[in-house]
Amino acid sequence: MRPAIVFEIVRKELTETLRDRRTLLMMIALPVLIYPLIIIGFSKLQLSQAEATAERTTRAAVWGAVPPGLLGTIFGGGKVEFEDAAAPPAPVAEGLARGTLSRPALLPAAAAEPPGPSDGRSSGTARGRSDAVDRGSEEPESPVLTAARDLIASRRVDAVLVLWPDVGPAVAGTGSGAVSVYFDSVREDSAEAGRRLASGLDEFREDLVRRRLRDRGLDPGFSLGLDVRQTNVAPQDRRAGQILGLFLPFLLVTMSLLGGFYPAIDLTAGEKERGTMQTLPCAPVSPVEIVTGKYLAVWVTSLIAALANVVSLGATMMRIVPGGAISVSPSTFVLAFVMLLPVTCFITAVFLAIATFAKDFKDGQNFLTPVYMLLALPAGVTMLRGIELNSWTAFVPVVNIALLIKALLIGDAGADLVFLALLSSTAYAVLAILLAARVFEREQVLLGGGEPVRSLLGLTRKRGGSPGPTLVLVAFAGVLVLTFYGSLVLRNVGTMPLLLVTEYGFFLVPTILLVAGLGFGIRPTLSLRRPPVLGLVAAVLIGGSAWAVASGLIIRLLPPPESLIRALEQLLLLDGKPMSLWAVWLLIALTPALCEELFFRGLVLSGLRRLGVWPAVIACAFLFGLAHSSIYRLLPTFFIGLLLSALVWRTGSIWTSIVAHALNNGIAATLVYDKGLAAAVSPGSQAYLGWKPTLAGTIVLALGLLLLRFVHPPKQ
């Protein structure tokens, strides 16, 4: 081997490699930019989360007889508030009052486990604290432990402070009383509550010891004051899930998405490089068939990668810790795999669409690597304490699925949050698939050329035209995200301003801007035609009875939780502010009827018309149900949406659905507003309507649908 030749080859290859600006970007610029952004972003997020936790007020329940001065010491700082409504169950309250309940002894094999970062206060016998203080120790099941765990799990309080019967005599005398602090170490707010209560008890104990030292002689337990024990109520599987939830979701998401990375490049940029992509437009196949076949091929490889990762991680966990403390049931890994389906759909479509713009395989790698990093690395938020699936994170693509898997591991996934996370992920997946299909329809892109983004997204102005399914689906997704985050930002401004901004700002204004901005015919697109008289009569009958069928039949299939019922009542009552009935009808009935109907039965239904009557009506109703962002409201709103869509399709006029929508909302608001009328309509029923008014409403609804059949639909 001749070193000079080797050196010359190395020089040549390095020179050619470093001449490529994209290679330099990937080698130097991207790491220099991406890592600081990610690390700084994560640290800022963790810091803001810690600051938010520190600023939040702890809600605590206090069970047992309270000695003088204790509550003032604990709750006097303003960071802890007492929830007087969180009383213990009757047997527990009676046992604490009579002194028949006492703090159970710890299990022999229990081990100490701190609830979280230290609050800066030292512990131990050096400060007079008993060795029996055991943070996170295992305590045997008891009525008090069960009741405290259930109360904390319901999130009514963050922690429970139990003053056992011997506390009063001990504080009044010279002995030591037993106190327990129950918290959930998996929840950051609950762990912080445990720290705050322990800190307050320390202050009270120190003051008690000082007074004893001043006033009395020494007795056994004199310097201890309070024998405080903190008990972690989180079950073992939740604690194990918390540990696994720090890294498993991130690994599952990043490694699963990597499975579709190279196939997406090979089936697009790779084919361009081999010269086979250019022959596809000449073949007797449609662009939809091409993109569907390629998409399914890449998605299958992503699913195989996801399945391999889930199986491998599950088997590894069972192999490393067989029967140990860290264990997760196989069903959890199965659910994790199911949760990966929508995110793999989304990422596959994004990869396929972006890789199509590349000219060769190397170009495809340069295109997709930053996209992969920007989409996958944010899933690392699961490694930050206190970051969990909530109303804000449920709509963040990829991150929501990672946090959902984490929530499944700790058993803390609520039905509504699961619904929102899957809904948003599915919406993003549909948009990405539509983008991929749009790209493959452009021969210029397939052949290596470029095209303006506005034309690619179908946003070119077409005077007198009509919207298509792709546009209205993109518009729906945009309005859905805008409405969701907008309502969260404005939730503190009051119900009335929030309602007006949501309806007019998030539904009506985007509708007008899209129709006018893209040059669509306003009257045909929004169905602004004069309604037939028979159609108006049918709309009145349908709108006046649909609420009865929905609340009497549909809601019985999936009863909403009490919290949702109370929230809807607060919305319908406009936070209980005194207001005349006509104003309630104006805000609750007419405003949503006008704004939502122009968007859904106007723009959306118009864009779906080319699909045919039933696909368009069903799809429009389904999107209407999804827009209400609750799994418990999906069925009733889908049912109402079907009726409203059928009205507009049959009569050709948006005014019929506006009338029906206004009547449906207005009657429901009137019944909530007038409790006497509600009791007369359905006496003794709270969750849903009684059978008699439900039967009457069903008959009226059937009559309205029968009249609608006699209306001749207009020519589209």
Helix/strand/coil (H/E/C) assignment for every residue in 254-315: HHHHHCCHHHHHHCCHHHHHHCCHHHHHHCCCCHHHHHHHHHHHHHHHHHHHHHHHHHHHHH
Alpha-carbon gap, residue 199 to 455, rounded angstroms = 63
**Pair (218, 254) in one structural domain:** no
454 & 579 share domain: no
Query: Is 494 inside any structural domain?
Result: no
Give the angle subtended at the CA of 573 by the CAs of 568 and 575, to the nearest 5°: 90
For residue 540, the model assigns a pLDDT of 94
Claim to verify: residue 379 and residue 267 sit in the same structural domain? yes
Which of 310, 192, 191 is CA-nearest to residue 239? 191
Question: Do the domain assignments include residue 612?
Answer: yes
Does 569 map to a domain?
yes
pLDDT in tens, 654-674: 999 999 999 998 888 888 777
Give the pairing type, strands 177-183 and 226-232.
parallel
**Residues in the chain where the model's pLDDT stays below 50:** 35, 109-136, 322-325
| pLDDT for residue 590 | 93
Answer yes or no: do 438 and 560 share one domain.
no
Residue 496 domain-assigned (yes or no): no
Residue 481 in domain: no
Same domain, 93 and 37: no
- pLDDT at position 40: 59
> Are residues 441 and 368 part of one domain?
yes
pLDDT tens for 419-444 read 888 888 888 888 888 777 777 766 55
Q: Which of 208, 234, 260 is the last residue of a domain?
A: 234
* pLDDT score of 592: 92
> Are 37 and 85 in the same domain?
no
Q: Quick one: tokens of 474?
A: 């993109």
Domain boundary among 404, 434, 460: 460
| 643 in any annotated domain | yes
Write out the residue range of the structural domain in which residue 676 sits: 504-716
Give yes or no: residues 271 and 388 share one domain. yes
Could you tell me if residue 542 is inside a domain? yes
Identify whether residues 255 and 141 lie together within a single domain: no
Q: What is the pTM of this model?
A: 0.60
pLDDT value, residue 120: 38
- What domain count does the chain have? 4
The residue from 234, 249, 280 where one domain ends is 234
Do 47 and 69 fall into the same domain? no
10 and 65 share a domain?
Answer: no
Q: Which of 471, 553, 579, 543 is nearest to 704 (CA)?
A: 543
8 and 127 inside one domain: no
**Containing H/E element for 487?**
helix 469-489
Q: Please check whether residue 488 lies inside any domain of the structure.
A: no
Model pLDDT, residue 228: 75
pLDDT at 564: 61
3-state secondary structure (DSSP) of residue 520 = strand
